[in-house]
Chains A and B, each alone.
Chain A
Amino acid sequence: MLAARYITTDKLVPWLLSLSESRLVLAPIRKGGQTVFQPLEADSELDLDGLATSSPKAALLPRCETLLEFHYSKGEEAPSRTSVEVRETLHDQPTFLFGARPCDVRGFTVFDRVYDAGSKRDIYYCTRRDNTLVASLACTDPAETCFCHRVGGGPGDSTGADLLFTFIGDGYVVEAVTDRGNDFLLSQTLHDAGDRVETALKTREAVKAAMPEGEPLLGAPEQVNKLFDDQPFWEDVSAKCLSCGACSYLCPTCYCFNMTDEMHGNDGVRVRTWDNCMSFQFTLEGSGHNPRAAKAQRMRNRIGHKFNYYPALHDGNLACVGCGRCISHCPVSMDVREIVSKAQTRAMAEEEQIND
Chain B
Amino acid sequence: MASPIEELKTAIRQALPDLDMVIAWTAGPDSLSHTPLFITDAADIERIEWDSRCSQNLAGYLTSLRGKKVGIVAKGCDARTIVELLQEKLIDREDVTIFGLHCQGAVDARKVRTELKVGRGVQGVTIDGGAASFAVNGETQTARLGQVLQEKCFRCTGADAEVCDHFIGEHGQPPQVDDAPVSTLDMLEAMGMEDRLHFWEDQMTKCIRCYACRSACPLCVCQDHCAAQSRDPHWVDQTDHPREKLMFQALHALHTAGRCTECGECERACPMDLPIMTLKQALNRQIKDIFDYQAGTDPDKTPPLFQFREEEEHIKERKW
Binding site for B on A (CB under 8 A): 31-34, 36, 53-54, 62-64, 143-145, 239-240, 242-246, 248-250, 258, 260, 262, 269, 271, 273-274, 276, 279-281, 325, 327-329, 331-335, 337-338
How many angstroms between the C-alpha atoms of A50 and B278 in the bound complex? Answer: 29
Whether B29 and A327, one on each chain, are in contact in the complex, defined by CB atoms closer than 8 angstroms, is: yes
Contact A240–B35 (Cβ < 8 Å): yes
Contact B60 A274 (CB under 8 A): no
B237 within 8 A of A: yes
The answer for the CA separation of A143 and B29 in the assembled complex, in Å, is 11
Chain A residues lying within 8 Å of B238, measured Cβ to Cβ, are 64, 258, 260, 262, 271, 273
Q: Does B317 contact A (CB under 8 A)?
A: no
Question: B residues within 8 A CB of A34?
Answer: 206, 271-273
Q: How far is the CA of A273 from the CA of B216 in the complex (A)?
A: 22
Q: Is the interface of B mostly helix, strand, loop or mixed?
A: loop
Q: Give the size of the chain B interface in residues (CB under 8 angstroms).
A: 40
B33 within 8 A of A: yes
- Residues of chain A within 8 A (CB-CB) of B272 are 32, 34, 36, 53-54
Question: Which residues does chain A contribute within 8 Å of B120, judged by CB atoms?
Answer: 143-144
13 contacting pairs across A/B (C-beta < 8 A): A31-B206, A33-B110, A239-B38, A244-B214, A244-B216, A249-B208, A250-B210, A250-B271, A262-B238, A262-B239, A331-B265, A331-B268, A333-B33
Instruction: Point out the residue from B31, B34, B212, B237 that lies within 8 Å of A244, measured CB to CB.
Output: B212
CB pair A32–B273 under 8 Å, yes or no, is yes
Q: Is the CB of A338 within 8 A of B29?
A: yes
Q: CB distance B215 to A244 under 8 Å?
A: yes
User: Whole-angstrom distance between the alpha carbons of A329 and B209 in the complex?
Assistant: 14
Residues of chain B contacted by A329 (CB below 8 angstroms)? 271
Question: Closest 8 interchain pairs by CB?
Answer: A244-B215, A331-B269, A64-B240, A333-B35, A280-B224, A33-B273, A333-B28, A244-B212
Q: Given contacts A31-B206, A34-B272, A273-B240, list 8 more A-B pairs with CB under 8 A.
A: A33-B110, A34-B273, A36-B272, A144-B120, A240-B36, A262-B237, A329-B271, A335-B29
- Complex CA–CA separation, A143 to B53 (angstroms): 18
Give the distance to chain A from B112, nearest Cβ to Cβ, in Å: 12
Instruction: Provide the residues of chain A in CB contact with B30, threshold 8 Å.
Output: 143-145, 327-328, 333
Closest partner residue, chain B, to A34 (CB atom): B273
Contacts of B271 in A (CB 8 A): 34, 53-54, 246, 249-250, 325, 329
Cβ–Cβ < 8 Å partners of B215 in chain A: 242-244, 331
How distant is the Cα of A336 from the Cα of B247 in the complex, in angstroms? 33
User: Would you call B114 an interface residue if the criterion is a C-beta within 8 Å of the partner chain's C-beta atoms?
Assistant: yes
Q: In whole angstroms, what is the CA distance A230 to B283 when docked?
A: 45
* Residues of A with C-beta under 8 A to B209: 63, 245, 249, 273-274
- Give the docked Cα–Cα distance between A328 and B240 (Å): 25
Residue among A64, A249, A329, A331 with max Cβ neighbours from chain B (10 Å): A331
Q: A34-B273, A64-B239 are in contact. Are A249 and B210 (CB under 8 A)?
A: yes
| Cβ B206 vs Cβ A245 within 8 A | no
- Distance of A58 Cα from B252 Cα, bound (Å): 26
Closest to A278 in B: B215
Instruction: Give complex CA distance A279, B209 in Å.
Output: 12
Chain B hits for A32, CB < 8 A: 203, 206, 272-273
B181 CB, nearest partner CB in chain A, Å:
12
Flag whether B172 is at the interface (Cβ < 8 A): no
Please indicate the chain B residues that have their CB under 8 angstroms from the CB of A64 in the complex: 238-240
Complex CA distance for A36 and B271, rounded to whole angstroms = 11
Asked whether any CB of chain A lies closer than 8 Å to the CB of B211, the reply is: yes
B51-64: contact bitstring with A at CB < 8 Å (1 yes, 0 no)? Answer: 00000100011000
CA distance in complex: A239, B271 (Å) = 21
| A316 to B190 CA separation, bound complex (whole angstroms) | 57
Contact A244 B269 (CB under 8 A): yes
Decide: A332 and B56 in contact? CB cutoff 8 A. yes
For B271, the closest partner residue in chain A by CB is A329
**A334 to B269 Cα, complex, angstroms:** 12
B265 touches A63 (CB 8 A): no
Contact of A276 with B210 at beta-carbon distance under 8 Å, contacts A33-B110, A260-B238, A333-B29 already known? yes
B28, B216, B273: which has the most chain A beta carbons within 10 Å?
B28
Judge if B316 is at the interface, Cβ distance under 8 Å: no
> Is B229 a contact partner of A144 (Cβ separation < 8 A)?
no
